[in-house]
Chain A
């Protein structure tokens, strides 16, 4: 069974009956590993469409959870259940619950650092006071505002006033949370959350490949949320200095927010500043300051470390890239594509109006970036299949366009693997207008393919 990944949460959704006879068929180690390779924060099994389960039916999941947690520090558990199912799971495992339980997938998202929405008002209740505190801390860390309720009676009274809260959390349980350095995207900046004592371990818990890919895709501002850092030693200092040198090659900026120097030598700050790292007291000092954001590169990614040209390997595989894109868009729009022109030059977009774009990078045996430029109404049509209805909500369309770019990236990966070329794909990036896209790729040479879907122009651009 494959997981569906959204907001950094991979969800498996078995349906029907779970017992000792069939549980291993639903989920295998390979399924789990394939999901963890997608760099998810959490792996959950949805119980929404499970009508019957017993302890034997869950045991295989629990064993797999333990393996994955040990290996990847990913949060694992169950979601999407009613009170009866929650009570059954708690009864089966009593005091031996090392996994998490989230009443709904939406509640699970609140605990994922990849979830974009912040500042949610949350009514929170658990009969276990340690759980109440643990959940409140995690929610707070993720930028939300939990209101903790101490008694069942008070919770019953408060939860009926539904309009006051964005979410109501009950029947949930936090197992061990992951300890990888969490990352999230805010606008075009990437925020890493670090805490406690920073030492040599940071090299293991920081996903350097993710960071490099983010640079390649065009992200230029990286913020370390360091409010909860107590101190750092010389190994961590060296690590951040190296990171800063690497960022400089891409003209990217690294900033620390909220780092206190009570227990960290002031000389460390000077060393880090010499490396080019910036320091701010509050996150809003950066995120709310549009001018500063622009200056730090969060809205621009024009200065690439090295402008690389399209190479022979890319040209040979070009038909596969085009096929992957065309097949996906044809599938999503249910219309035929006509290839109008293929040329190698800097990107040329004659009419910038009413167009949106998305890009996705790939790296491994080959590397590069695919950019898709849609007329807005074609993007809407292409996203209808995923959304399930027509919509004018541009935010939803842009979000869905990222999913579409993901599908194209996945298709490219599959087609290349047929030729024994192994690549991984980066997170997709979206652009609400063409000017912001051009800031990233204006001076890059690539292969431009003009396509037409039912007389609507669609542009594919492949660059490195």
Chain B
């Protein structure tokens, strides 16, 4: 297992951020090969390669057997999992696993654990798929873009966990979200760091662009990307309004840009059956 220890980074200088990015390893060979085979539609071969990584295998099993995936019986064979998910969603799930490798073994800033973080990944992914279906978009990179979004939470944990008390005092005095604090201290946002992760892992360039737009503060000039950014921003706050994530302290980790999503809210509410 490639659990990467990056949460020893101290906040908040540019050097700390550079250290953080430096510590992100290149894409592991097994994952690279799995993604390559998925990309060429070779699901069976991809499954065989994925089988060799026990941690990946365990992750795939745990994620697709979450209630939100709706399978009646437990699915345990990787070939079966890839077969059920299809190319786009298999690709997305492997990316989710990669992002999961960055997560700390123990969360301190946010009250999360491995299970709840997986739940967040699964919830975002399934609902993102629903949104893309609604928008008639079938593109594996756009499907995978949602996987990069939770990395902003991991980055936040890594950069601020050593200074929890200071940051909390600051946030009690002034209504500042973590993204604003980082931006004012280092002129870099959490989403800029996510972009660097995407580049380092060779993700398609549309992925960080959508995630940047989903911050709600760096809009894209590309209408389609901006629209996807709005949906992703609203989806993130829909998910972060769930009790377990409010309890985890995630509800206000970044600022919700309510005006940004005003024009898609009604569609979103209908799609998510909010009443």
Interface residues of A (CB under 8 A from B): 1-5, 11, 13-18, 21-22, 24-26, 48-52, 54, 327-328, 331, 334, 384-386, 388, 403, 406-407, 410-411, 414
Compute how far the CA of A13 lies from the CA of B174 in the bound complex, rounded to whole angstroms: 12
User: Across the interface, do A385 and B184 meet the contact criterion of CB distance under 8 Å?
Assistant: yes
**A21 partner residues in chain B, CB cutoff 8 A:** 242-243
25 CB contacts below 8 A, A to B, read: A1-B251, A2-B168, A4-B175, A5-B172, A15-B237, A15-B241, A15-B251, A15-B252, A18-B241, A22-B243, A22-B246, A25-B243, A25-B246, A26-B251, A49-B255, A51-B234, A51-B237, A51-B256, A51-B258, A51-B261, A54-B275, A385-B185, A406-B173, A407-B173, A414-B169
Contact of A49 among B168, B170, B258 (CB under 8 A): B258
Contact of B173 among A11, A50, A403, A414 (CB under 8 A): A403
User: Across the interface, do A22 and B13 meet the contact criterion of CB distance under 8 Å?
Assistant: no
**A334 partner residues in chain B, CB cutoff 8 A:** 12-13, 185-186
**B175 partner residues in chain A, CB cutoff 8 A:** 4, 11, 13
B39 → chain A, closest Cβ, in Å? Answer: 35
Compute how far the CA of A385 lies from the CA of B163 in the bound complex, rounded to whole angstroms: 16
**B166 partner residues in chain A, CB cutoff 8 A:** 327-328, 331, 411
User: Across the interface, do B13 and A16 meet the contact criterion of CB distance under 8 Å?
Assistant: no
B47 → chain A, closest Cβ, in Å? Answer: 37
Compute how far the CA of A406 lies from the CA of B169 in the bound complex, rounded to whole angstroms: 9
User: Across the interface, do B238 and A4 meet the contact criterion of CB distance under 8 Å?
Assistant: no
Chain A's interface: helix, strand, loop or mixed, by majority?
A: mixed
The number of chain B residues with a CB under 8 A from chain A is 38
Contact of B169 among A3, A22, A410 (CB under 8 A): A410
Query: Which residue in chain A gives the minimum CB-CB distance to B244?
Result: A25
B25 → chain A, closest Cβ, in Å? Answer: 28
User: Across the interface, do A411 and B173 meet the contact criterion of CB distance under 8 Å?
Assistant: no
Does B49 count as interface, using CB distance less than 8 angstroms? no
Does B45 count as interface, using CB distance less than 8 angstroms? no
**A328 partner residues in chain B, CB cutoff 8 A:** 166, 169
Given contacts A13-B175, A51-B258, are A407 and B170 in contact (CB under 8 A)?
yes
Other than the given A16-B256, A22-B246, A385-B181, 18 more pairs (CB < 8 A) read A2-B168, A14-B241, A15-B256, A16-B237, A16-B238, A17-B237, A21-B243, A25-B243, A48-B258, A51-B237, A54-B275, A385-B185, A388-B180, A388-B184, A407-B173, A410-B169, A414-B165, A414-B169
Compute how far the CA of A264 lies from the CA of B23 in the bound complex, rounded to whole angstroms: 77
User: Across the interface, do B172 and A4 meet the contact criterion of CB distance under 8 Å?
Assistant: yes
Does B240 count as interface, using CB distance less than 8 angstroms? yes
Does B42 count as interface, using CB distance less than 8 angstroms? no
User: Interface code B43-85, partner A: CB below 8 Å = 1, 0 otherwise?
Assistant: 0000000000000000000000000000000000000000000
4 closest cross-chain pairs (CB), A and B: A16-B241, A25-B246, A16-B237, A15-B256
B181 → chain A, closest Cβ, in Å? Answer: 7
A385 → chain B, closest Cβ, in Å? Answer: 5
User: Across the interface, do A2 and B171 meet the contact criterion of CB distance under 8 Å?
Assistant: yes
B164 → chain A, closest Cβ, in Å? Answer: 10
The winner among A21, A52, A386, A388 for most chain B CB atoms within 10 A is A52
Compute how far the CA of A15 lies from the CA of B236 in the bound complex, rounded to whole angstroms: 11
**B274 partner residues in chain A, CB cutoff 8 A:** 17, 52
Compute how far the CA of A388 lies from the CA of B166 in the bound complex, rounded to whole angstroms: 18
The winner among A11, A17, A54, A388 for most chain B CB atoms within 10 A is A17
Given contacts A13-B252, A334-B12, A334-B185, are A26 and B169 in contact (CB under 8 A)?
no
User: Across the interface, do A25 and B247 meet the contact criterion of CB distance under 8 Å?
Assistant: yes
Compute how far the CA of A14 lies from the CA of B184 in the bound complex, rounded to whole angstroms: 23
Compute how far the CA of A386 lies from the CA of B185 in the bound complex, rounded to whole angstroms: 11
Does B201 count as interface, using CB distance less than 8 angstroms? no
**B137 partner residues in chain A, CB cutoff 8 A:** none
Compute how far the CA of A358 lies from the CA of B184 in the bound complex, rounded to whole angstroms: 23
B225 → chain A, closest Cβ, in Å? Answer: 22
Residues of B216-275 whose CB lies within 8 A of A:
234, 237-238, 240-243, 246-247, 251-252, 255-256, 258, 261, 265, 269, 274-275
Query: Which residue in chain A gives the minimum CB-CB distance to B168?
Result: A2
Compute how far the CA of A407 lies from the CA of B173 in the bound complex, rounded to whole angstroms: 7
User: Across the interface, do A4 and B165 meet the contact criterion of CB distance under 8 Å?
Assistant: no
Given contacts A4-B175, A15-B252, are A407 and B169 in contact (CB under 8 A)?
yes
Compute how far the CA of A135 lies from the CA of B185 in the bound complex, rounded to whole angstroms: 42
**B252 partner residues in chain A, CB cutoff 8 A:** 1, 13-15
A276 → chain B, closest Cβ, in Å? Answer: 38
B264 → chain A, closest Cβ, in Å? Answer: 11
Compute how far the CA of A25 lies from the CA of B252 in the bound complex, rounded to whole angstroms: 13
Contact of B170 among A24, A51, A331 (CB under 8 A): A331
Query: Which residue in chain B gives the minimum CB-CB distance to A11?
Result: B175
A23 → chain B, closest Cβ, in Å? Answer: 9
**B261 partner residues in chain A, CB cutoff 8 A:** 51
The winner among A16, A49, A50, A411 for most chain B CB atoms within 10 A is A16
**B186 partner residues in chain A, CB cutoff 8 A:** 334
Query: Which residue in chain B gives the minimum CB-CB distance to A384?
Result: B184
Residues of B19-55 whose CB lies within 8 A of A:
none
**A406 partner residues in chain B, CB cutoff 8 A:** 173
B15 → chain A, closest Cβ, in Å? Answer: 11
Compute how far the CA of A44 lies from the CA of B240 in the bound complex, rounded to whole angstroms: 21
B231 → chain A, closest Cβ, in Å? Answer: 13
**A388 partner residues in chain B, CB cutoff 8 A:** 180, 184
Compute how far the CA of A81 lies from the CA of B165 in the bound complex, rounded to whole angstroms: 31
Compute how far the CA of A406 lies from the CA of B173 in the bound complex, rounded to whole angstroms: 8
Compute how far the CA of A17 lies from the CA of B251 in the bound complex, rounded to whole angstroms: 10
Compute how far the CA of A95 lies from the CA of B265 in the bound complex, rounded to whole angstroms: 30
User: Across the interface, do A386 and B241 meet the contact criterion of CB distance under 8 Å?
Assistant: no
Query: Which residue in chain B gives the minimum CB-CB distance to A403?
Result: B173
The winner among A3, A48, A331 for most chain B CB atoms within 10 A is A331
